[in-house]
Chains A and B, each alone.
Chain A
Amino acid sequence: MATLSDLADELVTDVDGLMLFSPSSGHYKRYSELDDGADVIVISQENDLNADTHVKLPLKFDDIQTRLRYGIEGAMDHGIVNDGDVVACSATVFGDDADSLVRLRVDDRMRSGVYALFADSRADPGVIRSVFEVAIELGKKGQKGKPVGALFVVGDAGKVMNKSRPLSYNPFEKSHVHVGDPIVNVMLKEFSRLDGAFVISDGGKIVSAYRYLEPSAEGVDIPKGLGARHMAGGAITRDTNATSIVLSESDGLVRAFKAGQLTLELDPEDY
């Protein structure tokens, strides 16, 4: 006869590491020193528990798969876990407490680029994060209640500017607006009714709005059914070292492109 705890045992036998996703302090204290020698890795937005091994989450990632993937890729990048390791992940799927346990074998093929999107982009991770927040906010509220689309090209702004042309006068000319400034959300909401792309520099300065991107779309592989905005956003990341963050007008999703590939898809309604 098997007992219920056998089920949990099966998940945690011979794991090399335990990944705690946004644990509560009590939860962390209980499992921070494990008898069987598995490493404990904390993955959360702020390392307020002062864990020794910590991977910083840039966003909350409501989708559990994206969250696990980000944590694993981050741990791989830091050299905490390696190809072939088996880890147990304790995470929250519903509610606020850790309510699920996932057993995973770390595999180099798991790399989807979610971690690299934030950590290895030309632009600062904080800038990319801020742009995501703006896009999510815009996707949630829309403009005057109507769904709105937007295209942000972040990083490598010099090259992006040379691969694009203005559609009209640049409203951000001679301004010193950075993403993350409190006024930006309102400004971008107003300007989002303009056609064209927002160009943002590595340091977060909004260089221009109203840009018509002119990359060569050759060999860009993005899912069929996405429109011209996504195609332009994806293609510019292949020609330059920029990252594109696109808010779709039709389905309301926020997508990120890097090196011509779709790397992340988020639903603003989850945040």
Chain B
Amino acid sequence: MLQTGFDAIVRLLDVVSFRLWAAALVFLVGLVVALLIGRVTAGTLRRVGIPGAIEGTEFERTAREFDTSTVTIISRLVAYLTVAVFGFAALSIFGTGYVDRFWSDVAGFLPQLFVAFLVALIGLIVGDKVELVVADRLKSVKLPQTGALPTAAKYSVFYVATLVALSQIGVETLSLVVLLAAYVLAVIVLVVVAFQTMLASAAAGVYLLLQQPYGIGDEVHIAGNSGIVQEIDLFVTHVESDDDVYIIPNAKVFRGGIVRVRS
């Protein structure tokens, strides 16, 4: 009786080929391993302190809006890759004939795509974080002109991450690098030309603020204007006479020299 039951099972197994069973088993194991790897990745990321480090970045905030988090997204990605790898393994066990040239190409390409995706993701997060950190550092510098710096830092990181990601999936990036160089050069030229007087004034202003050759309350002649100094900042000096207030760029102060009236 037992023998006939066993035979029935063996016959049932034989209906489907042994290879299919092995493939199914591999795929099942793959699912379990993927689940585990996803868990471990999430746990490791949390323990390393990733959620705290990226708190407040735009990516994390967007992720939160969709009721998920960056850590979840990354661990899911890792899990999906594992499933895909085991899927291909299962396919190849089932029969190499099924995995033709096209699929093997895709199989080789998949890890690259995954790395590219990861690099882009990390680039996004690091860029956001860099923006926050730079903005935080600059908070003590009371100059509205520094407002553009954090954004510039963010997009630089984005750009580099994009380059790395693209080169990962085999896109020719040399032209993009050349483009970046041209862009940076253009920005530098623009800054030098457009802000020439501002920069000169700021350089002079640094000297004036540090050395204080004249102070608030001194009577001075500067660039043909005379009066009492009311205010000195990085870019300009306010000199007030009885009727007028002269706002003199610091570059001019340096070029023309200062006459302090001794009373």
Contacts and interface: CB of A to CB of B under 8 A. Distances in A.
B209 A158 contact: no
Nearest to B211: A174
A160 B231 CA distance: 13
Contact of A162 (B142, B217, B233): B217
A48 to B, nearest CB: 21
B217 A158 contact: yes
B237 to A, nearest CB: 11
B216 interface: yes
B228 A162 contact: yes
Interface string B195-216: 0000000000000010010011
B152 to A, nearest CB: 27
From B212, B215, B216, B233, name the one whose CB has the most chain A CB atoms within 10 angstroms: B216
From B217, B218, B231, name the one whose CB has the most chain A CB atoms within 10 angstroms: B217
B230 A156 contact: yes
A203 interface: yes
Contacts of A174: 212
Interface residues of B, number: 15
Nearest to B209: A176
Given A162-B228, A201-B230, A205-B231, A157 B216 contact: yes
Contacts of B216: 157-158, 161, 201, 205, 207
B128 interface: no
A60 interface: no
Contacts of A203: 231, 233
Contacts of A160: 217
Nearest to A159: B228
Interface in A109-162: 156-162
A205 B209 CA distance: 12
Nearest to A211: B217
A158 B230 contact: yes
Nearest to A122: B230
A207 B215 contact: yes
B217 A207 contact: yes
Contacts of B218: 158
B240 interface: yes
B34 interface: no
A202 interface: yes
A170 to B, nearest CB: 9
B251 interface: no
Interface in A153-209: 156-162, 173-174, 176, 178, 201-203, 205, 207
Interface in A190-236: 201-203, 205, 207
Contacts of A173: 212, 215
B229 interface: yes
Contacts of B209: 176
Interface string B218-245: 1100000000111101000010100000
A158 B238 CA distance: 10
Contacts of B231: 157, 201-203, 205
Contacts of A176: 209
Contacts of A157: 216-217, 230-231
Contacts of A202: 230-231, 238
Contacts of B219: 162
A184 to B, nearest CB: 14
Given A158-B217, A158-B230, 4 more contacts: A157-B216, A174-B212, A176-B209, A205-B231
Q: Which 8 A-B pairs have the closest CB atoms?
A: A161-B217, A158-B228, A158-B230, A207-B216, A157-B216, A158-B217, A203-B231, A174-B212
Interface of A: 156-162, 173-174, 176, 178, 201-203, 205, 207
30 contacts: A157-B217, A157-B230, A157-B231, A158-B216, A158-B217, A158-B228, A158-B229, A158-B230, A158-B240, A159-B228, A159-B230, A159-B240, A160-B217, A161-B217, A162-B217, A162-B219, A162-B228, A173-B215, A176-B209, A178-B142, A201-B216, A201-B230, A201-B231, A202-B231, A202-B238, A203-B233, A205-B216, A207-B215, A207-B216, A207-B217
